[in-house]
Amino acid sequence: MFPWPTEHPAEQLHSLRTTSLAKLVRDDVLAAILDGALAPGQRINEPDVAGRLKVSRVPVREALRELESSGVVVSRKHAGVFVRQLSASEVRDLYQLRALLDGFAGRVAAMLPKAARDALIGVLDGATAAMKSALQSADTKRYYAENLRFHWAIVEAAGNPQMAEVYRGIVQKLHISRLKNLSDDGGKKASIAEHIAIVKSLRQGDAPNTEARMAAHVEAALARLQKSISQKSIQPETPP
C-alpha cells in the first residue's frame, strides 16, 4: 500500500461509503454467526440480509467476501454462501495453534510488573466467579462469554497486537464449533478448576508454569469437545 491516495476523489468517496456499509453488514452477520442465530452449514441469504439492514446487495457481497477470507463463511459455486462448518481435523489444528498462543500469552502475562499483573488477576477472578455463577444457573451462553473474556484478557495483557489479531480469528472459528457441541456440566467444572490454577500461577509470577497450564488447559478443552461430539454422534463434516 502506498502512503498516498491512488484513487480518483470520486472513487475514494464511493469506496468510503461502500466500505462503511460493508463493515456494518459484516459485523451484523458475524454477530449472528457467533451468537448461534446462523448455524454451521446454514446458507446466508443475501437478499434477506440486505432487506433487513436496508442496504443494497453490494455491501452485503463485500461483507461476505471479507468473512470468507477470514474463514468464517464459505462460498460454494451455484449454491451460495454458507456458515463455515469445520472438519474434525481443522478443529484439532486450530486448537493446537491456540494452545501455542495461549501459552505464549500466559508466559508474557506472568512476567508483567506486579501492578499490571494484579489488575489482570482482578479481571480473571471476576470472569471465573461469573463462570461459576453461570454454571449454577445453567446459563450456557454467559458461561462461554466469560470463558472468552478470561482468555482474551490474558491475550490483550501480552501486548502483541499481531498475535491478538491471529488469536481473534482462531477463536471466532472455534466458537462456532463449540456452540454446536457444548460440553456437559462436568466439563465446565473441570475447565473452571483449570482457570483457577492458571490464576494462581499468574499470581505467583511463575512464567513457565503459567505457560504450561495455559497450553494444557486448551489441550484439555479440545479433548472435552471431542468427547462431547463423540457422545452426541455429531461429527463435523468436511466442507465440499
Look up the CATH number of the domain holding residue 17. Answer: 1.10.10.10
Count CB-CB contacts under 10 A for residue 152: 17
- 220 in a structural domain: yes
Q: For the chain, what is the domain count?
A: 2
Using the 3D structure, point to which of 57, 83, 109 is the last residue of a domain: 83
Q: Indicate the pTM of the whole model.
A: 0.76
- Whether 176 contacts 33, CB under 8 Å: yes
**CATH number of the structural domain spanning residue 170:** 1.20.120.530
Using the 3D structure, point to which of 83, 105, 130 is the last residue of a domain: 83
Residues 171 and 205 in one domain: yes
- Whether 87 contacts 236, CB under 8 Å: yes
* Structure-derived torsion over alpha carbons of residues 119, 124, 130, 136, reported in degrees to the nearest 10: -150
- 239 in a structural domain: no
pLDDT of residue 19: 55
pLDDT of residue 17: 55
DSSP H helices, 76-206, are: 88-110, 114-136, 140-157, 161-180, 185-203
**Residue ranges making up the domain that contains 22:** 12-83
pLDDT of residue 2: 45
Q: 3-state class of 38 per DSSP? A: coil
Q: How many CA atoms lie within 13 A of 131 on its CB side?
A: 25
- 155 in a structural domain: yes
- 2 in a structural domain: no
Residues 110 and 214 in one domain: yes
Contacts of 130 (CB under 8 A, 6+ apart): 142, 146, 149
What pLDDT tens digit does each residue of the chain (240 aa) get? 344 444 554 455 455 555 578 888 998 998 888 777 888 889 999 999 999 999 899 999 999 999 998 888 999 988 999 998 888 899 899 999 999 999 999 999 999 999 999 999 999 999 999 999 999 998 887 888 899 999 999 999 999 999 999 999 898 888 877 655 556 778 889 999 999 999 999 999 999 999 999 999 999 999 988 887 776 644 444 433
- Whether 201 contacts 120, CB under 8 Å: no
Residues 158 and 108 in one domain: yes
Residue 214 and residue 95: Cα distance in Å, rounded? 12
- 164 in a structural domain: yes
pLDDT of residue 37: 86
pLDDT of residue 85: 86
